[in-house]
Each structure stands twice: as C-alpha cells, then as structure tokens.
Amino acid sequence: MTHHNAVELSASSGKLPGLLPKLDEATAVLADTLDVAKPAKMNRVLDTARRILLQEGGCAALESRVQALEASGLFNGSDWATPQHLVPSLTTQALQSRHAEIVVIEALSELRLLAVATGDYLHPLISAEQAHHYLTQVLAINLGMLFTAPSEAERATQGRLAQIPRALLNHLALRIGYQHIVDKLIEEIWRILKQRPIQVEPIQQMITQIALCQHNPDIDLGASGKGADRLVSSVFGPTEACREDPGIEVYHARLQHMDTVALQYEATGCARAMHDTGLVSPYHTVLLRYLLDQDHNDHLLAESLGLSSTGRDCLLCYRQLVEALIREAVYPATAQSIYGLALLLERGILYQPPIAPALWRQLGLNLSAWSQERLRLMYGDSVPPRARLLSGVLCMLGLPLGVGQGNNPTCQSARALSMWSYNDPDYLLQMVAWAARDDEIIIHFEGQPISSMASLSGVAASAPLDLDPVSSLVVPHLDRIYAEMIRRCAGRDSDPHRWVNPEFHGWWSGRGFRINVDVATGKLIALDEFVRYFYASYHPYYNGNLPLIHPQPAGIAITDSAARFIGWHAITILRVALDSSQTMRVYFFNPNNDSGQDWGDAVKVSTNGHGERFGEASLPFEQFCSRLYIFHYDPLERGALAPVSEDELQRVIDAVHRSWGADRLPTTDWQAQPGG
C-alpha cells in the first residue's frame, strides 16, 4: 500500500460544487422535454442526484432543489407522484433496493416531503402536518438504518449505494427532530450497547442528539425520553463532580481539591457508568490520569477501573506496565481505551508469558509513515497516531467479540482478528507490529510464504475507512493474503476454505471439514449426513458432552427476513450450551457489526436474554444448523454419526429447503465465492 492510496481515499471530498450545476442543467432539460420523452432524460437527473447523495452535504443541497425536480416531471407516472398516498412501511424496501434509481427517487421523495414539512414547499397534494407525520413514521420504521452500518444483506445487494439511506435518514432526523423518535432510539441504543462493540462513535452521536433534545427549551419531549439519563450521564456526567458537564479543565480543577473519600466516590461513579453501558466519558480519562499523577494508591486506581479481584491482582502484578499504557493511550479522545484496559485486566491475559513483553513492544513501536498517515486520515490529529493505535489494541484485547467488519466484504479478516484476540492474543500483537511497523505481513500457506505486499488485490475493492484503529491497519494486509490463499486453491475439488481456514486462522481450526453444497453444481448434497456430522461434533448430547475448546471457523448462508439467500458469510462458533429455558443453543461471533438479525422463517438471532456474553450471538441448535453450510472439526475426536431423531433431522432439512436451499436443485448454477 502506498502513499498514493491516501490521496485517493480523500479524493471524493469536495465534488459537490461541481455536481450541482450538472444537476440543475439536467433538471432544466427534463422540464423542457415532452412527457412522452421524459423517461429517456430522467436517467441523467437520477444518476447526478445519486452522486450528490454520496457527498457530504448532498441531502441539504437536494432538499433546496426538490421543488424544481418535482416540477420537471421527475415523479410523473410513478407511485411517488401522489405523496398523499405513500405508505411509510414500504420505504425500507425502496431504500434497500439494489436498483440505484429506486433508492435515489425514494430519497428525493423523502427530501421533498421534508421541504413540505418545514414549510419551504407548499405542496398542493399534502400538508406540512401530514408530511411531518409521514417522515416521523419513516424515521421510526427505519431506525435500524439510522446509525448502524449496513447489514450483510444490504452490503451484498447494494454495495456503496447502502450509504445513501443512512445519509438521508440522518439528515431527516436532524431536520425533523429526534424528539419524535427518541424512545425507539433509546431502545435501539441499549440493544447495540449490550453487544459491546469496539466502535461506539455512532452511538455517542445519537446520545449527543438525545442530550441536545433534553436541554433544548424549544423541544418538548413529553413522556418520551425516559431511560435516557443513564446514557447521557455515562458520556457527559458520570459523577457528581461533573454532573452538569462543566468541561475537562473545570473537572480537573475540582479533583485537585478533593480528599481521598471524595476521589473514591468519583472513581466508583466513573467505573459504574462505564461497566453499566460500555461507554467511557472523557471525564473518566481526566480522573485516571490525575490518580496516576498524584501517585494515589492502587486501590483508587483499581476502583476507577471497576476491577474484580482478578483484575486487581493483575493490576498489582503489572503495575508499571498498566501505568505506562494509561499514560500513552488514555486521552479524552481515546476514552474507550479505559474500558478495553479494564476488561483486558479482567481477562487475566497478562499472565500469559508473551503478552506483557508484547505490550511493552507496542508502547515503543515506531509506526511506518504510511501507518501514521492512515491513522491521521481516519481519526485526525487530536492524539498521536501511536496513541490511537495503542488505544485500539487495548480495546481489541479487552473486547475480542466487539470487532466489526464495517461496510466491507472482509468478514474473514475481521473474524481472524477477533479469534486471535480471543484465543491467541500474542499472535494478534505480532500481526499489529508487522502491519504498523513494516507495512507487510507474511503468513505461510502449505509451507510457502505469502506476503501481503506481493499479493494481488483482496476481496475489498478499496481500503476500508470505517474500522477500529487495529483493523484499519491490519485488515488490508489480511484481506490480500486471504484472497491469495483462495487463488492458490483454484481448481481443487472442494471448497477452498477446507484448506484456507486452518492456515489463515490458526492451528486450532479443525482439519476435518464438511460442506453441504456441491462446489461444481451448487446442489445441496448429503444434507442428512452433514447435519448428523455437525450434531456429532458440536452437540453435547451427541459428542460425549465434550465442550468446544477452541473457537472454530464456520460458514453460514445468510438470508434476509423473507428467508431468501443473500450470500456466504464467515462466523466463529464459540460454544454450545443450554440456556435458562433448557434450550440447547449455539453461541457464535458474527463480525457483521450488529449480530441481532432476522434471517427469516422465524430464525431471529439473539444477542442478549438467552445467556449470551458480551458480543455473542446465539440461536437454538436446530435453527443454527439450518443456516450452516461449512464447519470444521477434529477428525481424531469425532465419533460415529449422531443418532439424531428423524423428526429433528427432518425439521432442520425442511428449514434449509424453505430458505437458502429452496432453489438449490440439480439445475442450479453456482460458483463458490469467498465469504464476506
């Protein structure tokens, strides 16, 4: 990767002024065209509008032009021509369409109604009140898209187009007002936070909007907004000394006048808020650094991190290292690093001999010019690039199941980072060192080295810009290596993941391999045997109650809420256990940012409430098996095929046939693609 890439990454900014005159010209041409010829002229308008919607400020620019766009006849002959008859619940389907013209015209229609709702456009067919009510419903219905990254289904079907609905909905929310959707917003924020993602910036932005609504005298939240206080206070005022959000300097001055008892209250308050929500306030960073500077006892330091006896012991054993990590990584701009550090200590991984030396190496690591430039491009200059990366390392080591792939087809690489952090953290630290210092990672495949710099392009078309600091540096290298491994398996008589997964992820990936799809034809093959093998390998009732020792890579067939096949996706099977209702469940890691998904046919992935640990997703064993198409196992441990009852076996097979296997008959054409 070269410095030239950095220029390309930021080249898209500043295109808006050049696009607007082109849109105005195309709109004028459409307006002067006879009705019978208008369809031929619409493509230019819609294509230019699409490019504008992908730019920062594009929605606002189009909002001021929607009256002229409608007058030109853009909506003529379509459902959008009668806005008074539009149905809010249908907007989701339109905004998630794979057809650009549908997404764009839906976005333009929403912006038209926004202009009506705000009084800028007096429409003959719909009143401002009607438009406002409609848009409020649209925001509530599409809440999931408002601040979360695109789902696997959206990313596979829409690509970059998936950015448009999010830009539109954020613009609508800012203009219409969050007070109308704040209750559902709060519910959604808590749902995401229970998964403990590493990247919390979108959530913090939404909490900021809620706080602004609460403190705006012109906004009457009425009965809405209950339950927001815990969220707002966790970011803006976790303790009594900063309850009114006085600012970092004022808070620091207040700390200087506190005795030990008062500092104890502050430490406890910050820790409680952090562990309650998974969010860290910038005030927490001020307190932590103050405790170090004043050389307060380890008790207060442990209290401010909210540590149990395990974490406290780890802190005491590695006091000098922890202090160095805090001084180098903890700043108001990297507040989440405190949560990562606390959970790292709670995991006890510092007791593994390689980890402390590897973290000392990380503290003194000299980042390459490219690594520094990339981190600055993504996160700015508020803290040095090395501190930003170290903060990301702490978060990934503390939250190995909080890794997300962003809006990128890199589920394999995200899964690898999560798996290494979870199971082999010193290997993760080695990868970070190679990528950040050397701009190169080398992984061996069947005895032959593969260099990330010598390999061809990876699965992702461009360098990802929406990842955590560690992923942003390491994923581009892993992506190219993974793609090269896939290429080296071309022509073999089975799915390439049979050979790639154990070499790419680690020795603990089982060398035994099962797939229920014929690579050459796409037909479902030996489904009965596949299911019995999976039960025999993973179900405690059929494998001698043997627990899963190491996380195992697996491949699932992603389906949408109508149970239609979307694509292949990489996940990690973490454990299999009974939940509180005595249902056997598979607990797994899904790198797709938000694991709470509806896969159709009553298969809804759970992320809390069924015994999930932070970052885990789960499904009942049968349902998970119905979406599984690849799994690994240890061929030396697997016994005879599981004697699964015919009823249970048939339920799994029927679920496959009703969903992703519905059209996988002998005539189906299919070509194995790398998951992502």
pLDDT computed for residue 186 by the predictor: 84
Digit-coded pLDDT (tens) for 7-57: 333 334 468 888 999 999 999 999 999 888 888 889 999 999 999 999 999
Sheet with 584-589, side-by-side order of all strands: 512-515, 628-633, 552-559, 565-578, 584-589, 617-620
Q: What is the pLDDT of residue 476?
A: 93
Q: pLDDT tens for residues 612-654?
A: 999 999 999 999 999 999 999 998 886 678 899 999 999 999 9
Q: Indicate the helix (H) or strand (E) that contains 586.
A: strand 584-589
pLDDT on residue 221: 67
Q: Where are the domains of the chain?
A: 12-176, 307-486, 509-658
Please report the pLDDT score of residue 646 as a whole number: 94
DSSP 443-503: EEETTEEEETTTS---SSSS--SSS-HHHHHHHHHHHHHHHHHHHHTTT-SS-THHHHHHH
Better pLDDT: 15 or 385: 385
Best mean pLDDT range from 206-220, 415-429, 593-607: 415-429
Angle at 43 between CA 39 and CA 48, to 5 degrees: 145
pLDDT of residue 441: 96
Count of all residues that appear for the chain in the document: 676
Q: What is the pTM of this model?
A: 0.81
pLDDT at 1 over 50: no
Residue range 393-426, pLDDT digits in tens: 999 999 999 999 987 888 999 999 999 999 999 9
Amino acid at 228: A
pLDDT higher than threshold 60 for residue 373: yes
Give the model's pLDDT for residue 667: 52
pLDDT of residue 87 exceeding 60, the answer is yes
Summarize the confidence of residues 202-217 as an average pLDDT: 79
Q: What is the pLDDT of residue 459?
A: 64
Strand partners, 444: 449
Alpha-helix runs per DSSP H in 509-605: 527-538
Rounded (10°) CA dihedral 20, 21, 22, 25: 130
Count of other CB atoms within 10 angstroms of residue 323: 14
On the question of pLDDT at 234 being above 90, the answer is yes
Q: What percent of the chain has pLDDT over 70?
A: 92
Task: Identify any residues that bridge with 106 across adjacent strands, giving them in sequence order.
Answer: none
